[in-house]
Chains A and B, each alone.
Chain A
């Protein structure tokens, strides 16, 4: 396996929109293996998206076991992922391998359902919540050229969603 190098902001390639995967071949599976190793070696080690290693395809890996142990789905290979349902909102502080030395508060859905294909092209569906749901949303953003910097909210926002009710 090969360690892939991570693009870091302000590299403009991080803002491109990734293309769907149509060919589920050996090369793809090799790439997923390399991407898995690259993710595990990273500072967070719980998620990665193909555009972060300069491959412009809709491929996301999430494995939050380093954070949550076995109380999660383990390694999810999410190819052409789509959020099909979401509910709840939570503010959480996020950092990113592609944005070193910076973290910020971001609002994400608390519970999501995601549909995707695995490395063999089989349809998969996962229901996730909390940290795992946040990781998936963060990684899918990379496929659309978004970084968490694009979703920063003010520190106040979690509490001050609406201001005054003057009558």
Chain B
């Protein structure tokens, strides 16, 4: 089996996931890690697939769904999935009045301490007059949660945002 990263984008409507995964199933593909979500008015899929023959046959299997649902599809062959090295140990929550530069300043500070972003979700909401930005980052801080608190602390004032830094600990019962 070979591996590829499949990207799908289309105007959101019911049935996109069903059509794409059904096509993959009939092409004897299996699905690995996947992220599927609505962003704005679009539905997005990014997922690792394993396919038995060649990517051409995967594309062919997806073709009816692509045409029917007006999707844009991209397939990147990948040599193999890198082993997962770092598990997230820190969750950072950020919110505040929306303005340019929040993500850049927060992630810049995180990068300076070697923080590896594993998952970032954000949402612009609130009203047009009072836009609100909310972001949740999960990642691995090599020097621990305190180093993240320290590096982000000045941004509370300079960016006028609320920042929460929480350890992620899995309790095994």
Contact = CB atoms under 8 A, between A and B. Distances in A.
B134 A93 contact: no
A155 B171 contact: no
Contacts of B107: none
Given A155-B136, A156-B136, A159-B134, A94 B171 contact: yes
B172 A43 contact: yes
B123 A95 contact: no
By CB atoms of chain B within 10 A, which of A44, A156, A159 has the most?
A: A159
B33 interface: no
A160 B173 contact: no
A134 B172 contact: no
A94 B123 CA distance: 26
Contacts, number: 50
B30 interface: no
Interface string A69-86: 000000000000000000
Contact of B170 (A93, A159, A163, A164): A93
Interface string B149-173: 0000000000000000000111111
B21 interface: no
Chain A contact residues, majority secondary structure: mixed
Given A155-B119, A155-B121, A160-B123, A134 B136 contact: no
Contact of B136 (A43, A97, A103, A159): A159
A149 B18 CA distance: 23
A46 B136 contact: no
B136 A96 contact: no
15 contacts: A43-B172, A44-B172, A44-B173, A67-B171, A92-B171, A93-B171, A94-B170, A97-B172, A103-B170, A135-B171, A138-B173, A155-B121, A155-B138, A156-B136, A160-B134
